[in-house]
């Protein structure tokens, strides 16, 4: 049995002019890379002239690729790059940070600086496990994601924070909070996918089905409910269920009419949930979604 490579092909490293890794980046669409703003700026300060060099984390040093800044959000510590050559794959899903459940297991994999003994080869990458903790708001009106991890290291800035259940990107590593008084120990700040989505507008044409946890991004959520998986919901929404007209001699009173509007309960219809996402309880969302799918499936079987 072949073991899956733990390093996704969409991960890369941001390099100094001399080829020394400065941080991590990842591809969200062919030729479009994301990293932390401070990683790019620190690398430019080392002598690059408006062009960054990146390589693939899975094949370090094999090929250096040029990348140029297209858009940036300094406050949110995010930057969008256009690469001269695409990585083999891109992040599959991008999930709204606010829709992630508290204590959701997450993982960060990226370039890492580890102080080893002089006779040991340097560490190439490290995988750090953690748990999502919600959000934090700064006095400059910037909201950051926050998660707990004991093992996030220098060099991981710019890495995608990924939900372990479906590999969706829920944030971008910005900084580890190095507490001096024991408070918020092991806390890590991350740029939010909400801010990343704004950064991509007008530049990267991402299919709506790849954005999860946003109003209107219903395709993946409904499919996941049908497969028996729970997905956070961004609120009340209306879905259109298109189906062929049923035979007139076999009407099904429980079947939805063609193009019927099916209302799925949202925050206005449900008790106030807990957590930062403002989403309805998973059991209610799952029951509503699966009930619709069951009725639709029964109508299809009756008309065959």
CA distances from 128 to 138, 186, 215 (A): 25, 12, 31
pLDDT along the chain (304 residues), means of 10: 76 94 97 97 84 94 94 97 97 95 97 79 92 95 95 96 96 90 91 96 90 70 44 42 46 47 41 38 40 48 46
State residue 79's pLDDT score. Answer: 98
Residue in the block written with tokens 């990146």: 54
State residue 48's pLDDT score. Answer: 65
State residue 140's pLDDT score. Answer: 94
278 conformational bin, left if phi > 0, alpha if psi -120 to 50, beta if neither: left
Q: What is the CATH number of domain 11-83?
A: 2.40.10.10
For residue 145, what are its two tokens? Answer: 């994601």
Could you tell me the residue ranges of all domains in the chain? 11-83, 94-208, 215-303
Please determine whether the domains at 11-83 and 94-208 fall in the same fold group of CATH: yes
CA dist 69 and 80 (Å) reads 6
Which CATH fold would you assign to the domain 94-208? Thrombin, subunit H (2.40.10)
State residue 3's pLDDT score. Answer: 57
User: Strand, coil or helix: what is 296?
Assistant: helix
């Amino acid at each position: 049995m072949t073991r899956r490579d733990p390093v996704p092909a969409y991960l890369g490293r941001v390099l100094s002019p001399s080829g020394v890794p400065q941080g991590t980046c990842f591809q969200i669409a062919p030729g479009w890379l994301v990293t932390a703003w401070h990683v790019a700026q620190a690398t430019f300060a080392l002598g690059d002239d408006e062009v960054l060099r990146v390589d693939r984390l899975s094949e370090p040093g094999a090929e250096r690729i040029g990348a140029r800044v297209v858009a940036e959000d300094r406050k949110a510590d995010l930057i969008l790059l256009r690469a001269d050559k695409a990585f083999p794959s891109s992040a599959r899903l991008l999930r709204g940070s606010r829709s992630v459940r508290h204590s959701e297991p997450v993982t960060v994999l990226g370039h890492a600086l580890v102080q080893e003994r002089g006779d040991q080869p340097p560490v190439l990458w490290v995988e750090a496990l953690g748990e999502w903790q919600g959000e934090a708001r700064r006095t400059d009106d910037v909201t950051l994601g926050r998660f707990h991890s004991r093992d996030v290291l220098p060099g991981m800035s710019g890495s995608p924070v990924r939900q372990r259940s479906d590999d969706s990107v829920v944030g971008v590593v910005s900084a580890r909070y190095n507490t001096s008084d024991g408070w918020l120990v092991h806390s890590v700040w991350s740029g939010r996918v909400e801010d990343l989505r704004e950064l991509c507008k007008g530049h990267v044409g991402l299919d709506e089905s790849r954005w999860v946890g946003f109003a209107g991004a219903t395709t993946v959520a409904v499919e996941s409910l049908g497969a028996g998986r729970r997905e956070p919901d961004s609120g009340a929404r209306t879905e259109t269920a298109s189906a062929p007209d049923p035979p007139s001699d076999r009407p099904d009173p429980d079947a939805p009419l063609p193009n019927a509007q099916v209302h799925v309960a949202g925050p206005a219809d449900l008790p106030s949930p807990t957590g930062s996402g403002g989403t309805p309880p998973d059991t209610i969302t799952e029951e509503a979604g699966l009930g619709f799918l069951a009725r639709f499936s029964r109508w299809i079987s009756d008309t065959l």
